[in-house]
């Protein structure tokens, strides 16, 4: 799912930006074996891009699973990261997701479209009907079932509480008030674990808060970046 179109439009011409499709998603490769979807693989992909472009002192922004990739990357390469923006994330997923994984695997094998529709509905607040339809089409067209389930399996194994405690970078945490996938309490936990971090809860928004409330999210990110520059 491309969850950054509103940010691409807003920040275009203001700052140098780089958007990455994680493996298994968007235009990136989609290997089939589970071993390709372990957390360390996503982190190494990110570093491959950073190293190839010789990037340094950048602000790393992650959404959902991307927040976990970002935190782990920051732990392994602190010298390259200036600050973090973590949107709709957490150090681990809810116990409900872990219990539901084998059930969702079965449901998706019977009807992948139905399981994608369920996740699309949970990703946005109730009134975001057009975004739900858009997200459904994006996932169906660009994310095969095996990629989605392999990524989900990895999520059931991740616990970054100790990693978060070690983060010393300036960190902005943003979450939608109505996030049903990684609720506000997950971001509050992040806020408590990452010293000096700032938490912003956006009213009446779901998991993909950056698409539902782009103006509010963009202003928060811009203000955060401006303070870093000053």
For the chain (length 230 residues), average pLDDT per consecutive 10? 67 81 94 97 98 96 97 97 97 82 84 93 91 94 95 94 97 97 97 98 96 95 88
Per residue in 161-170, pLDDT tens?
Answer: 999 999 999 9
Per residue in 50-103, pLDDT tens?
Answer: 999 999 999 999 999 999 999 999 999 999 999 999 999 999 988 777 777 788
Domain count across the chain: 1
User: Quick check: pTM over 0.85?
Assistant: yes
Q: Which residue has the tokens 């509103």?
A: 6
Return the CATH number at 166.
3.40.50.1820
Q: Residue 18: what are its φ and ψ, rounded to 5°?
A: -140, 125
DSSP letter (8 states) at residue 197: -
Question: What is the spatial distance between Cα 69 and Cα 52, in angstroms, rounded to a whole number?
Answer: 18
Q: Which residue has the tokens 């990524």?
A: 151
Domain that holds residue 68: 5-229
Q: Cα torsion for 4, 191, 213, 7, to the nearest 10°? A: -30
């Amino acid at each position: 799912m491309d969850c950054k179109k509103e940010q691409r439009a807003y920040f275009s011409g203001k700052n140098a930006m780089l958007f990455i499709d994680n493996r298994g998603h968007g235009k990136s490769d989609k290997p089939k074996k589970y071993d390709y979807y372990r957390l360390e693989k996503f982190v190494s992909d990110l570093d491959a891009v950073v190293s190839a472009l010789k990037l340094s002192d950048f602000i790393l922004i992650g959404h959902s699973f991307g927040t976990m990739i970002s935190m782990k990357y920051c732990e392994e390469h602190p010298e390259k990261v200036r600050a973090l923006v973590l949107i709709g994330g957490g150090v681990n997923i809810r116990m409900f997701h872990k219990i539901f994984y084998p059930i969702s695997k079965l449901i998706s094998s019977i009807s992948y479209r139905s399981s994608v529709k369920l996740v699309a509905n949970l990703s946005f607040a109730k009134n975001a009907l057009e975004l739900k339809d858009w997200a459904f089409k994006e996932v169906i067209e660009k994310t095969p079932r095996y990629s989605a389930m392999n990524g989900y399996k990895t999520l059931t194994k991740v616990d970054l509480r100790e990693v978060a405690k070690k983060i010393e970078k300036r960190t902005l945490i943003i979450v939608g008030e109505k996030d049903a996938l990684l609720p506000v309490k997950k971001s509050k936990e992040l806020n408590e674990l990452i010293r000096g971090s700032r938490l912003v809860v956006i009213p009446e928004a779901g998991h993909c808060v950056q698409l539902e409330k782009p103006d509010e999210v963009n202003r928060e990110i811009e203000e955060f970046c401006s303070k870093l520059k000053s």
